Amino acid sequence: MAVLFVNGKFCKDPRLVTADDFVFQGLNIPRPVNDPVGTTLTLINVDQLPGLNTLSVALTRIDFAPNGGENPPHLHPRASEIFLALEGTFFVGFVTSFPDYKLFTKVLNKGDIFVFPQGLIHFQVNLGKTNAVGFAFFESQNPGIIRVADAVFGSNPPINPFILARAFQLDPNVVKNLQAKFGNNN
């Protein structure tokens, strides 16, 4: 039978549900960080953890490279977030919406939390000289992640560079260059 797609997910037959549907293991294990911005995302949403279905919670482990490894400006289209600084020192911030575009920032030490409202662009940067780790908690089983540079310059297919050149006040050749870089990331 063909796969069916519904709003959210199909629920498992309740008689077949086990405790394993509610657990995800090994989030203490460091992940290698190889991307140019210096972070690795381990997203646990309803796709990885079926028991989240209908429950409005999800979580991401974020590993940061040292010396400015960053979770670059990004947003979650369907959830607000609490960020927990587990290991390391972070510079974090978010920008409010039109027309003020006000930036709120804070330095977080180990054990501090910070709140990022739904849909606002925000970032976290590792200020330390060693790897750092944070956890992001979301109030949605499928919050979504949009890294702004990836979406704008790395979409598939690319956005017409003349549109981006005008939007970002950049030379079209600079845009094409960015698209080449970010296109490779995906």
Q: Does 173 bind its own copies (CB under 8 A)?
A: no
Quote the CA–CA distance of 112 and 10 in Å, as a whole number. Answer: 37
Smallest gap from residue 34 Cβ to its own copies (A): 15
Q: Does 130 bind its own copies (CB under 8 A)?
A: no
- Residues with Cβ < 8 Å from 162, sequence gap 6 or more? 172
Radius of gyration of the chain, Cα coordinates, nearest whole angstrom: 18
Tokens of 70: 């960053």
Report 2-61 residues binding its own copies (CB under 8 A). 3-14, 17-20, 22-29, 36-38, 41, 44, 49, 51-59
Smallest gap from residue 16 Cβ to its own copies (A): 9
Quote the CA–CA distance of 120 and 75 in Å, as a whole number. Answer: 6
Report 64-123 residues binding its own copies (CB under 8 A). 68, 70, 72-73, 75-78, 80-82, 84, 86, 91, 93-95, 97-106, 108-121, 123
Out of 33, 62, 132, 178, point to the residue binding its own copies (CB under 8 A).
178
Q: Does 172 bind its own copies (CB under 8 A)?
A: no
Nearest to 143 by CA among 85, 57, 61: 57
